[in-house]
Structure 1
Amino acid sequence: MIGTMEYADILDHSELVSRMVLKSDIMESYQKSLRALNEDEEAQRLIMAFKDIKVHYEDVQRFGRYHPDYSDIMKKVRAAKREMDMNDKVAAFKIAERNLQKLLDEISEYVAKSVSDDIKAPKDGAALTDGGCGCGSGSSGCGCKAS
């Protein structure tokens, strides 16, 4: 077990790293793009339109191709997502979000590798993808990108 002073030292160092991340240009860019996104009425309208159609999409997904509105909803979801993604504020936010995630992934990987080469850390924005489960096992039956 880690001694109390060692544990406190580790926590102090982790707080230092978090303060450095919070003061970084990458975090500043993220916060600036998030503010711009939240303040832009058009972007918010597009986000809400996408969320609304996504509710219908999830309902249709329960039945798949057999749902009578399957084709119509699939087209509407793709169109709403494309329109939302083409908005400058949304696109800028997604880029800033990916950059911040990349920084956090690199920090996690650095910490993991400094402990042992066998420790897994998130890679390639695995936290932002829907494909991986994030379990860190990296087994062949898992969709994680941790291996």
Structure 2
Amino acid sequence: MIATLEYVEILDHSEKIGKMVLDSEVMEDYKKSRVALDEDQEAQALIKAFNDMKIHYDDIQRFGRYHPDYNEIMKKVRSTKRKMDMNDKVAKFKIAERNLQKLLDEISQFVAQSVSIQIKAPQDGAALTDSGCGHGGACGCSL
């Protein structure tokens, strides 16, 4: 690819946008909440407990409702996740994460729309929602 003045201008503008995002209040809130989450021992213990429980959840997913411990593990997963989500530091981090994602989605949408109305861009936190298994629907999930 030959670097033209137009490409250089596009790169300059994208660097400016990146710097603006990094210097934004939304990013600052995200960084602060991430540090607070990482330093909170209780929150880290709850996250570890949830991640450990997810291993059991992944095991029963192969058999679904036919797994002998299905109901028990599903209850434990839900209660462990609820405890984790109710932690103040976890909740603040999730809010900050959603706000940052919203900002990035708005920027993506603005850039896409400035090129053409037909260009699709992530919106409404699509990057943070579960849209299937990640295998293109090969498992039969709804994408």
TM-score, structure 2 length as denominator?
0.90
Equivalent-residue separation in structure 1 for 2:71 and 2:19 (angstroms): 48
Match of 1:61 in 2: 61
Within-5 A mapping of 1:91-130: 91-130=91-130
Match of 1:138 in 2: none
Match of 1:85 in 2: 85
The one-letter amino acid paired with 1:13 is H
Which structure has the higher relative contact order (CA within 8 Å, separation 6+)?
Answer: 2
Partner SS state of residue 118, structure 2: coil
Within-5 A mapping of 1:1-147: 4-131=4-131, 143=143
Equivalent-residue separation in structure 2 for 1:133 and 1:30 (angstroms): 27
Unaligned runs of 5+ in 1: 135-141
Percent identity between matched residues is: 71
Following superposition, the deviation at residue 132 of structure 1 comes to: 6.0
RMSD: 1.7
Following superposition, the deviation at residue 119 of structure 1 comes to: 0.3
Partner SS state of residue 8, structure 1: helix
Whether the 8 Å contact between 1:126 and 1:132 is mirrored in structure 2 is no
Equivalent-residue separation in structure 2 for 1:55 and 1:82 (angstroms): 17
Following superposition, the deviation at residue 55 of structure 1 comes to: 0.4
Q: 1:65-102, CA deviations, whole angstroms, 9 ceiling, x for partnerless residues?
A: 00011001000000000000000000000000000000
The one-letter amino acid paired with 2:11 is L
Equivalent-residue separation in structure 1 for 2:93 and 2:3 (angstroms): 42
Equivalent-residue separation in structure 2 for 1:86 and 1:18 (angstroms): 33
Which runs of 4 or more aligned residues in structure 1 lie more than 4 Å from their structure 2 counterparts after TM superposition?
none
Equivalent-residue separation in structure 2 for 1:109 and 1:133 (angstroms): 25
TM-score, structure 1 length as denominator?
0.88
Unaligned runs of 5+ in 2: 135-141
Whether the 8 Å contact between 1:109 and 1:122 is mirrored in structure 2 is yes
Partner SS state of residue 82, structure 2: helix
